[in-house]
Amino acid sequence: MMKVLVHFFTFIAILQLSSTFQTPTETFQHELILKTPDIYKVFWKYNEVDITFEVHVKTKGWIGFGISPNGGMAGSDMILAWFANGKPVLEDRHAIGEQEPLLDEKQDWKLLLGKETDDYTVMKFRRKLITCDENDRIITGNSTMRLIWAYNDIKPSEKIIKHGTNNKGTKSVSLINLAKTINQEERLKDTFTYDIRNSNFSLPHDRDTFYRCEIFKIPPMIEKHHVISAKAILDEKHSQILHHILVYSCHHAVDDSHVGISYECYNNETNMADHLNGCDTVIFAWAVGGEQEFFPEDVGFPLGGSDKPLYVRMETHYDNPFGVKNVIDQSGVKLWLTKKLKKYDQAVLEVGHTVGPYQIIPPKTEEFITLGHCSEECLNEAFKENKLEEVKIFSVMLHAHLKGVKMRLRHYRGDEEIEPITYDDSYDFNYQDYKLMKPMKVLKKGDRLTLECYYNTKTDSETIQGGLSTRDEMCLAYIRYYPKISLAHCQSNPNMEKISTAYKSIKEKGWTKELKVEYQEFVKKPEFVAVCTGNAKTFPINEKTIKLPKVKKNYLPPDFCKLITPSSSSTIHPSVTLFVTLFSYYSYVIY
Is there a contact between 470 and 432 (Cβ–Cβ < 8 Å)?
A: no
Percent of all residues in the chain with a pLDDT value above 90, rounded to a whole number: 61
State how far the Cα of 525 lies from the Cα of 547, in Å rounded to an integer. 9
Is there a contact between 323 and 206 (Cβ–Cβ < 8 Å)?
A: yes
What is the model's pLDDT at position 53?
Answer: 98
The model's confidence at residue 572, banded by pLDDT at 50, 70 and 90, is very low
What is the model's pLDDT at position 500?
Answer: 82
State how far the Cα of 378 lies from the Cα of 350, in Å rounded to an integer. 13
Helices 513-524 and 496-509: crossing angle, nearest 10°? 170
Whether residue 577 is predicted with pLDDT greater than 80 in this model: the reply is: no
Average the pLDDT over each of 112-121, 151-160, 288-297, 523-532 and give the range with the smallest value: 151-160
Helix, strand, coil content of the chain in percent (nearest 5): 15, 40, 45
Whether residue 76 is predicted with pLDDT greater than 70 in this model: the reply is: yes
What is the model's pLDDT at position 163?
Answer: 53
Higher pLDDT, 518 or 570: 518
User: What's the burial of 40, exposed, middle or buried (CB within 10 Å: 0-12/13-18/19+)?
Assistant: buried
- The listed range with the strongest mean pLDDT (154-168, 176-190, 513-527) is 513-527
What is the model's pLDDT at position 268?
Answer: 66
Q: Which contiguous run of DSSP H or E holds residue 564? A: none
Whether residue 207 is predicted with pLDDT greater than 80 in this model: the reply is: yes
Q: 3-state SS of 19-72?
A: CCCCCCCCCCCEEEEEECCCCEEEEEEECCCEEEEEEEECCCCEEEEEEECCCC
- The listed range with the strongest mean pLDDT (27-31, 233-237, 446-450, 564-568) is 446-450
Average the pLDDT over each of 154-158, 389-393, 428-432, 522-526 and give the range with the smallest value: 154-158
Give pLDDT tens digits for 62-72: 999 999 988 88
User: What's the burial of 156, exposed, middle or buried (CB within 10 Å: 0-12/13-18/19+)?
Assistant: middle
Q: What residues contact residue 446 under an 8 Å CB cut-off, 6+ apart?
A: 376, 379, 380, 413, 414
- Report the phi/psi class of residue 75: left, alpha or beta, with left for phi > 0 and alpha for psi in -120 to 50: left
What is the model's pLDDT at position 438?
Answer: 76
Q: Which contiguous run of DSSP H or E holds residue 15? A: helix 2-18
What is the pLDDT of the chain when averaged over all its residues? Answer: 87
What is the model's pLDDT at position 272?
Answer: 65
Q: Return the closest-CA partner of residue 55 out of 134, 120, 132, 137.
A: 120
Q: List domains and CATH numbers for the chain.
A: 25-176 (2.60.40.1210), 191-343 (2.60.120.310), 346-550 (2.60.120.230)
Q: How far is CA 288 from CA 2, 316, 319, 473, in A?
A: 52, 12, 11, 15
Catalytic residue among 226, 399, 401, 489: 399
Instruction: Give the mean pLDDT of 498-506.
Output: 82
Give pLDDT tens digits for 125-169: 999 999 999 989 989 878 889 999 999 988 876 556 565 556 899
Percent of all residues in the chain with a pLDDT value above 70, rounded to a whole number: 87
Whether residue 180 is predicted with pLDDT greater than 60 in this model: the reply is: no
Q: Return the closest-CA partner of residue 297 out of 435, 436, 423, 443.
A: 436
Give pLDDT tens digits for 525-569: 999 999 999 877 899 999 999 999 999 999 998 887 876 644 444
The amino acid sitting at 156 is P
Whether residue 190 is predicted with pLDDT greater than 60 in this model: the reply is: yes
Instruction: Give the mean pLDDT of 256-267.
Output: 88
What is the model's pLDDT at position 569?
Answer: 44
Whether residue 280 is predicted with pLDDT greater than 70 in this model: the reply is: yes
Strand partners, 418: 411
What is the model's pLDDT at position 508?
Answer: 82
Instruction: Give the mean pLDDT of 235-249.
Output: 89
The model's confidence at residue 575, banded by pLDDT at 50, 70 and 90, is very low
Q: Return the closest-CA partner of residue 446 out of 537, 549, 349.
A: 549
Q: Return the closest-CA partner of residue 379 out of 286, 315, 446.
A: 446
Active site residue 211: yes
- Report the phi/psi class of residue 441: left, alpha or beta, with left for phi > 0 and alpha for psi in -120 to 50: beta
Is there a contact between 428 and 397 (Cβ–Cβ < 8 Å)?
A: no
State how far the Cα of 16 lies from the Cα of 10, in Å rounded to an integer. 10
Strand partners, 43: 31, 54
The model's confidence at residue 18, banded by pLDDT at 50, 70 and 90, is very low
- List of E strands, 143-220: 145-152, 168-173, 191-197, 201-202, 209-217
Is there a contact between 246 and 358 (Cβ–Cβ < 8 Å)?
A: no
CA atoms within 13 A on the CB side of 123: 27
Higher pLDDT, 282 or 93: 93
What is the model's pLDDT at position 495?
Answer: 85
Higher pLDDT, 421 or 30: 421
Q: What is the DSSP string of 255-292?
A: -GGGTT-EEETT-TTSTTHHHHTT--EEEEEEETT---
Whether residue 197 is predicted with pLDDT greater than 70 in this model: the reply is: yes
Is there a contact between 446 and 376 (Cβ–Cβ < 8 Å)?
A: yes
- Strands 360-361 vs 464-465: parallel, antiparallel or unpaired: antiparallel
Catalytic residue among 211, 311, 344, 434: 211
Is there a contact between 558 and 585 (Cβ–Cβ < 8 Å)?
A: yes
DSSP structure class, residue 179: G
Is there a contact between 491 and 379 (Cβ–Cβ < 8 Å)?
A: no
User: What's the burial of 17, exposed, middle or buried (CB within 10 Å: 0-12/13-18/19+)?
Assistant: exposed
- Strands 299-303 vs 344-345: parallel, antiparallel or unpaired: parallel
User: What pTM was computed for the model?
Assistant: 0.85
Instruction: Give the mean pLDDT of 194-202.
Output: 94
Burial 238-248 (b: 16+ CB within 10 A, else e): beebbbbbbbb
Angle at 451 between CA 447 and CA 452, to 5 degrees: 135
Is there a contact between 443 and 389 (Cβ–Cβ < 8 Å)?
A: no
